[in-house]
Amino acid sequence: MNPILPAVNPPDSNANSAHPLAELRRGEAAVVAGLAEVAGFDDGHGSGAIVLARLRDLGFVAGARCEVIAKMWPVGDPMVVRVGGSTFALRRAEAAAVRVMRPEVKAAAQVQLALKETSTALA
């Protein structure tokens, strides 16, 4: 159980759905769709929930614009992301928990859907 954010995995069935932030390339920008718990940092003691809550408090909330500033070799772990005017270093697992919409798929309807998904997730 996650007291802060219930786990949510946006269906990846269609190509226009949200991607993990970790997949973005250096210099790429996107809009945050929401947060989703991922395997990797939940140890069964609720630390996954703490990570998600902190990501949210740092400004990774639906609708926020973010941009990848730097990625460490070889696989972008950790990476540097700018969001809400501040800059953060995130590990790959942390960045994977942030779901983003790439600009090319940013149809208005998609943003609506993403916002709805997040608000369901946060409720």
Partner 1 sequence: MDAVVSTPSLRIALIGVPNCGKTALFNRLTGSRQKVANYPGVTVERREGERAALDGRALRILDLPGTYSLSPTTLDEAITRDVLLGRVADAPAPELVVCVVDAVHLPIGLRLALEVKRLGLPMVLALNRMDVAAKRGVHIDMERLATELGVPVLPTIAVKRGGADALIDAIQPARWEHHRSVAARAWQDATAEDAEQTQTDLRGVLAAVGYSPPKENRWFERIDAILLHPVWGLVVLAAVLFVMFQAVFSWAEAPMGWIDGSLGKLGEFTAAHLPEGPLSSLLVNGVIAGAAAVLVFLPQILILFFFILALEDSGYLPRAAYLLDRMMGGVGLSGRAFIPLLSSFACAIPGIMAARTIPSWRDRLTTIMIAPLMTCSARLPVYALLISALIPAKAVGPFNLQGLVLLALYVAGIVGALAVAWVMKHFAGVRQYSPLMLELPDYQWPHAGNLLLGLWERVKIFLSRVGGIILALMIVLWFLSSYPAPPDGATGPPIQYSFAGRLGAMLEYVFAPIGFNWQISIALVPGLAAREVAVSALGTVYAMSATGDDVAGRLEPVIASTWSLATACSLLVWYVFAPQCLSTLAVVKRETNSWRYPLIMAGYLFALAYVASFITYRVIAAIP
Give yes or no for residue 119 binding partner 1 (CB under 8 A). Answer: yes
**Does position 98 bind partner 1 by CB under 8 A?**
no
Q: Is 61 an interacting residue with respect to partner 1 (CB under 8 A)?
A: yes
Q: Quick check: 1 binds partner 1 (CB under 8 A)?
A: no
Beta strands in the chain (DSSP E): 19-20, 29-35, 65-71, 79-83, 86-90, 98-101
20 binds partner 1 (CB under 8 A): no
Q: Smallest distance from the beta carbon of 96 to partner 1, in angstroms?
A: 12
Nearest to 88 by CA among 69, 101, 61: 69
CA atoms of 33 and 99, how far apart (whole Å) = 5
User: According to the binding rule CB under 8 A, does residue 25 interact with partner 1?
Assistant: no
Among 31, 34, 10, residue whose Cα is nearest residue 108: 31
Binding site for partner 1 (CB under 8 A): 3-6, 40-43, 45, 47-48, 50-51, 53-59, 61, 69-73, 77-78, 80, 84-91, 93-94, 119, 122-123
